[in-house]
Amino acid sequence: MKVNEFFRWIFKLREKREEGWVIERRVLKRRAIDQVTSPAIEVTNVAGNNKMTSERTAKLVDAILEAWTKCLKPPYGSGEFSPDDGSTDCNRFVHEVCVKLGFAGFEGLRANKMFELMDKDDHWLDVSGATAAYYANLGGLIVAAWKNPDPDKSGHVAIVRPGMAGSSAQWDVSTKDIPKIANVGPAQTCRLDRGANFAFGKDSRPTYFFWTVSLKKDI
């Protein structure tokens, strides 16, 4: 995809979500094979209500776009999340999206600490990539997170966006278990059109944390 085509695709996302993500909602018509059935997650009514699902998904897409464009340099965005010193603000991006969707617990945390918080919080459930894609299509909040084993180095976080899950030769995954993500990083990795394998290295596969409250909250 050429750069200009990519940006046209980005800004058409708002139009596309108004149509209810007609193409991607095929996912809603079939349950993910590995759908989580924990009694702590009451999603049956949500999945069965197309109007509510469309509104939740629209809210998720808007939250992602409003925060994600800050990683783009002018005239496409402010560049706030991609400073010229080479550092990146994946944590601030994820925090901003989460705040818009009702979770403010990441304030001031870096990626490694965000991972630790979700790993210990019962409201954040570790799910598979296919399940992460399923819940994102319902408008659920899912954070892809990798904790760096070196405590002196940064980890990475991203947001799972609505879309069809895919496979990855890099991770030797032949099943549809790699969700699409909204990623903030160095300029060349600020993308919305790639899977999680694009943003996380071969040896740094993320954990997908689903905030179960996001499908219980009123819109």
DSSP reduced 3-state for 171: coil
Q: Cα separation of 13 and 127, whole Å?
A: 26
Q: What is the DSSP letter of 28?
A: G
Span 25-49, pLDDT tens digits: 333 333 322 332 232 333 333 444 5
Distance of CA 28 to the CA centre of its chain: 17
The pLDDT of residue 146 is 97
Using 50, 70 and 90 to split pLDDT, how confident is the model at 109? very high
Span 129-152, pLDDT tens digits: 999 999 999 999 999 999 999 989
Span 66-90, pLDDT tens digits: 898 888 777 777 888 877 776 779 9
Q: Cα separation of 102 and 213, whole Å?
A: 9
The pLDDT of residue 2 is 42
pLDDT at 213 over 50: yes
Residues making up the chain, counted from first to last = 219
pLDDT at 208 over 90: yes
Q: Which amino acid is at 107?
A: E
The pLDDT of residue 147 is 97
Span 9-22, pLDDT tens digits: 555 544 444 444 33
Question: Is the distance from CB of 219 to CB of 55 less than 8 angstroms?
Answer: yes
At 51, list the tokens: 């109007």
Span 61-70, pLDDT tens digits: 889 988 988 8
Query: What residue ranges define each of the domains in the chain, with the CATH number in brackets?
Result: 3-215 (3.90.1720.10)
- Average pLDDT, integer, range 161-190: 88
